[in-house]
Structure 1
Amino acid sequence: MELFTETATWKTEEHGLIAETARKIFADHLTPKMPAYIKQGYIDREFWKLAGQQGLMGGSIPTEYGGSGGNIGFDAIVLYELAASGNASWTYIVQSIVMHYIIAYGTEAQKQRWIPGLVSGESVAAIAMTEPGCGSDLQSIRSRLVRKGDNYQLNGTKTFITHGTTTDLVIVAAKTDSNERSKDISLIVLETNGATGLHRSQKFEKLGLMGSDTCELSFEDVMIPRENLLGQREGTGFYQMMTQLPWERLALGVVALGSIDYTLAQTIEYVRSRQAFGQRLMDFQNTRFKLAELKTKAEMLRAFVNDCIVKADMGILDTAAASMAKYWGTETQNLVAHECLQLHGGYGYMMETPVARQYADARVQMIYGGANEVMKELICKSIDL
């Protein structure tokens, strides 16, 4: 399967080429090593750099910063092919999100300093928004930035930070001075090398995405140059997050679609070969009807995601549509994983079976990027209730 539909207006020949390249790289260099990455709990820099060399991480980044100068569709294709290869533990989605924050709000000096390393894979990025006790409620964060001459002093704690133990560059959301819920939030970039007062916890033991490192970051009087502030003005962070979150949520919908296609393909192969009561599992009407239902949901999601990509490329993807892509996509992903594991029977419960890992990896999709309950609230705001 492919991300784009036959009638997708955003697809070009170049998009098809990057899809082929990504598919080959993941098959040759990621899938064989994923068991080792899962065991160690993070992806080696060797793969990050290979992905950079092959142009997987810079498709939508302007050429003057090392990218290919394409549209957001290039990021979407890489994310889809990654999930469709069964390897969502390489959380490139975070690298993409961070790059787009810096492209959108960074000064020329900031872009020149940080973007080329992120495109090449020399640097690995993280974004630190969530805090213990506030979850999806970003307005309630307590981390503080206080001016100290030419620097900011950062104090606070962030949790569930993807790439937290290995990151070189972290976008941190914190408040500056006042107690405003949203007007006081700022985004600042912390370079972790030599950052005194930065403490990283041990890697969290997670249910899924075990090849991606996640931890807690705490900041104790960490000094960051004032020039690292994104947007050049304090108090613009909440607006920046709300503007960028639609891409993050659409990206999660794209990942969901890739995972769905992979899980269905694995399940179809299994039920064609598995025998029960003297016939193939595929020959049972229940099996065929289940697959028909899941395939229909996948194609509905594919059409909607493609429409959202067009809107994102045009700069008109709104919060409601992005929230629908995230909510519906991840709910469907979890449904597909559940039904396909059931079709595998006892073998589906064994972690060496691909569907088991997809089942475990899918669960967090309904939580991060804004819990699906929050997505429903955002969708409701677009309805004249």
Structure 2
Amino acid sequence: MFLLSAEERAIVDLVRDFVDREVKPVVRELEHDNVYPEDLIKQMAAMGMFGLTIPEPYGEVRVSTVCYAMVTEELARGWMSLAGVIGGHTVVAKLILLYGTEEQRQRYLPRMATGELRAAMALTEPGGGSDLQALRTVARLDGDEYVVNGSKTWITNARRSGLVALLCKTDPTATPPHAGISVLLAEKGTGFEVSRDLPKLGYKGVESCELSFDDYRVPADAVLGGVPGRGFAQMMRGLEIGRIQVAGRAVGVGRAAFEDSLRYAQERESFGVQIWKHQSISNYLADMATKLTAARLMLHDSAERLDRGERCDLEAGMAKLFASETAMQIALDALRIHGGYGYSTEFDIERYFRDAPLMIVGEGTNEIQRNVITRQLISRQQSQS
């Protein structure tokens, strides 16, 4: 299970070296100053990271989802924000690849693969949270154009993306509501603007913004796949790889916190011995390693299922839930192991502690995720009986 090709292993190794050589020496200063890592993003684009899930003839190198999950883990081990840059971009690429017309694939995917064109997905609305069927952003058909009005929030890459996969209602009267939801491939233009940047506890350096659509016009053929009313099901499928990606980020953050703690526990002494020899610290380290290994196995299992073309919404959801909760617990235990130093901005532990909560609330809160998992369990059991 989870075997990579020689080329994929080389890619993961290359990203690991990039993180150790280029990211770790500068991340603390960039993160504390909340500076967009332009140079690091350019290097990521040159390495082909924006096109890892885009196959020929649109891209150059398409890797397995397992490989993509490993790349995500390595990036997040260095700085979770870097993994976030390619997260939404990858979901949009997957949506266009699976559901786009050939014209849409030709128009966007080659430039997305190189990072020349960056993409974002716009789902969440102010006051709407995880209830995507309660959308208030509406696109009304006017001749051969849709006129969009509404707002979206928590949009990663909002300022630097040239393309936004916009989830909106093209038929507000449809019953059930999801039957009137579409994905519009919205390019920046008149009536489409970033209204503000959101201040955040963590996830620094990369922008998270609110978008406002005020009589924003897009051609009717901007509907993903050319047929309106299919956007909800399309986005739910796209979120499978989105949740795999978030789980990969969580594993990366948890791994970074664990590795720092394991190292520190061998360097720090108290009462005449290295602190790992104290049972309380030893128990923390054992639990960290065990949960981290379990989270990674769940992550790779869901990624492998996606590669086999199997349904993996349940598995991706469970991986995201477990990995994110694990990352948060590991970050907290890492702070305890480091004591006062864990609370200091001169160590990386406090960054992990601020970054970990994003995976708990991002890509569907874990509270909603538990509901989705239970519904899927019931549905699968009923289908088998």
TM-score normalised by structure 2 residue count: 0.93
- 2:328 paired with 1:327: no
- 2:294 paired with 1:300: yes
- 2:325 paired with 1:358: no
Q: Is the 8 A contact 2:80 2:249 kept in 1?
A: no
- Give the whole-Å Cα distance in 2 for the aligned partners of 1:314 and 1:361: 32
Which of 163, 170, 194 does residue 200 from structure 1 map onto?
Answer: 194
SS in 1 for 2:198: coil
Which of 165, 168, 180 does residue 171 from structure 1 map onto?
Answer: 165
- 2:227 paired with 1:242: no
- Provide the residue aligned with 1:71 in structure 2: 64
Structure 1 residues 46, 294: CA separation in 2 closer, same or farther (over 3 Å shift)? Answer: closer
Q: Which amino acid aligns with 2:363?
A: G
Q: Is the 8 A contact 1:48 1:122 kept in 2?
A: no
SS in 2 for 1:64: coil
Q: Is the 8 A contact 2:52 2:68 kept in 1?
A: yes
User: Bigger CA drift: 83-92 or 331-340?
Assistant: 83-92
User: Bigger CA drift: 149-158 or 274-283?
Assistant: 274-283
- 2:57 paired with 1:61: no
- Give the whole-Å Cα distance in 1 for the aligned partners of 2:252 and 2:202: 16
Aligned pairs (5 A) from 1:254-333? 254-333=248-327
Following superposition, the deviation at residue 357 of structure 1 comes to 0.3
Q: Which amino acid aligns with 1:47?
A: L
Following superposition, the deviation at residue 277 of structure 1 comes to 2.6
User: Bigger CA drift: 25-34 or 281-290?
Assistant: 25-34
- 2:112 paired with 1:123: no
- Give the whole-Å Cα distance in 1 for the aligned partners of 2:250 and 2:313: 18
- Give the whole-Å Cα distance in 1 for the aligned partners of 2:39 and 2:105: 24
SS in 1 for 2:310: coil
- Provide the residue aligned with 2:156 in structure 1: 162
User: Bigger CA drift: 295-304 or 42-51?
Assistant: 42-51
- Provide the residue aligned with 1:51 in structure 2: 44
Q: Is the 8 A contact 2:144 2:220 kept in 1?
A: yes
Q: Is the 8 A contact 2:171 2:181 kept in 1?
A: no
- Give the whole-Å Cα distance in 2 for the aligned partners of 1:109 and 1:201: 31
- Give the whole-Å Cα distance in 2 for the aligned partners of 1:28 and 1:18: 15
Structure 1 residues 276, 9: CA separation in 2 closer, same or farther (over 3 Å shift)? Answer: closer
- Provide the residue aligned with 1:188 in structure 2: 184
Q: Is the 8 A contact 1:264 1:340 kept in 2?
A: yes
SS in 2 for 1:190: strand
Count of residue pairs brought into register by the alignment: 376
Which of 137, 140, 145 does residue 151 from structure 1 map onto?
Answer: 145
User: Bigger CA drift: 243-252 or 204-213?
Assistant: 243-252
Following superposition, the deviation at residue 358 of structure 1 comes to 0.5
Q: Is the 8 A contact 2:2 2:66 kept in 1?
A: no
Q: Which amino acid aligns with 2:137?
A: S
Following superposition, the deviation at residue 179 of structure 1 comes to 2.6
User: Bigger CA drift: 86-95 or 369-378?
Assistant: 86-95
User: Bigger CA drift: 374-383 or 72-81?
Assistant: 72-81
- Provide the residue aligned with 1:100 in structure 2: 94
* Aligned-pair identity (%): 32
Runs (4 or more) in structure 1 with deviation over 6 Å come to: none
The superposition leaves residues 132-156 of structure 1 with CA deviations (integer Å, 9 ceiling, x where unpaired) of 1110000001101111222211110
Q: Is the 8 A contact 1:174 1:185 kept in 2?
A: yes
Consecutive unaligned residues in structure 2, runs of 5 or more? none
Structure 1 residues 341, 317: CA separation in 2 closer, same or farther (over 3 Å shift)? Answer: farther
Following superposition, the deviation at residue 52 of structure 1 comes to 2.2
- 2:279 paired with 1:252: no
- Provide the residue aligned with 1:139 in structure 2: 133
Q: Which amino acid aligns with 1:184?
A: G
- Give the whole-Å Cα distance in 2 for the aligned partners of 1:36 and 1:66: 34
Consecutive unaligned residues in structure 1, runs of 5 or more? 1-7
Q: Is the 8 A contact 1:308 1:317 kept in 2?
A: no
Q: Which amino acid aligns with 1:74?
A: C
Structure 1 residues 106, 18: CA separation in 2 closer, same or farther (over 3 Å shift)? Answer: same
Structure 1 residues 46, 106: CA separation in 2 closer, same or farther (over 3 Å shift)? Answer: farther
Which of 11, 15, 21 does residue 22 from structure 1 map onto?
Answer: 15
Q: Is the 8 A contact 1:208 1:361 kept in 2?
A: yes
The superposition leaves residues 74-130 of structure 1 with CA deviations (integer Å, 9 ceiling, x where unpaired) of 321221111122443441212111111111111122112111222212222111000
The superposition leaves residues 284-305 of structure 1 with CA deviations (integer Å, 9 ceiling, x where unpaired) of 1111111111111111222222
- Give the whole-Å Cα distance in 1 for the aligned partners of 2:216 and 2:268: 58
Following superposition, the deviation at residue 33 of structure 1 comes to 3.7
Following superposition, the deviation at residue 67 of structure 1 comes to 3.0
- Provide the residue aligned with 1:3 in structure 2: none
Following superposition, the deviation at residue 210 of structure 1 comes to 0.7
- Provide the residue aligned with 2:75 in structure 1: 82
- Give the whole-Å Cα distance in 2 for the aligned partners of 1:324 and 1:99: 23
Structure 1 residues 198, 39: CA separation in 2 closer, same or farther (over 3 Å shift)? Answer: farther
Q: Is the 8 A contact 1:31 1:87 kept in 2?
A: no
- Give the whole-Å Cα distance in 2 for the aligned partners of 1:48 and 1:302: 25
